[in-house]
Amino acid sequence: QSVLTQPPSVSGAPGQRVTISCTGSSSNIGADYDVHWYQQVPGTAPKLLIYGNNNRPSGVPDRFSGSKSGTSASLAITGLQAEDEADYYCQSYDSSLSGSVFGGGTKVTVL
């Protein structure tokens, strides 16, 4: 049971927009701690996709965007492409646990 809750899977056709939710609580996202997102292609190490809620590292396409409100955050992928098939994880800090926490991960399938 992850501290941050994500849907197990989402899917969309090429070119469509999909969103992944990340729901936390008053001790993590709701306490105004930043949310970060990672992309993990099967068999490879995770890669930072969004940091500080809505910032893209250099090299990450602007098709990826992040937002945060209250105790939740979201990752949006617009113009879905076949190469976007991967697992996506949200991450934040939890003051009750005094450590970093991850969501359970969401598998994105391009139909």
Partner 1 sequence: EVQLVESGGGLAQPGGSLRLSCAASGFIFSGYVMNWVRQAPGKGLEWISYIGSAGTDIYYRDSVKGRFTVSRDNAKNSLYLQMNSLRDEDTAVYYCVRGNNGYDPWGQGTLVTVSS
**Interface with partner 1 by CB under 8 A: which residues?**
2, 34, 36, 38, 45-48, 50-52, 57, 89, 91, 97-105
Q: Give the tokens for residue 12.
A: 């969309």
| Closest CB 49 distance from partner 1, rounded Å | 9
Q: Which is nearer to partner 1, 16 or 97 (CB)?
A: 97
Which residue's CB is nearer to partner 1, number 59 or number 111? 59
The nearer residue to partner 1, 14 or 52, going by C-beta atoms, is 52
Which uninterrupted H or E stretch holds 47? strand 47-50
Please enumerate in sequence order all residues whose Cβ is within 8 A of that of 51, keeping only pairs 6 or more positions apart, or say none. 34, 36, 57
CB of 13 to partner 1, least distance (A): 26
Going 109 to 47 to 5 to 76, the CA torsion angle's sign is negative
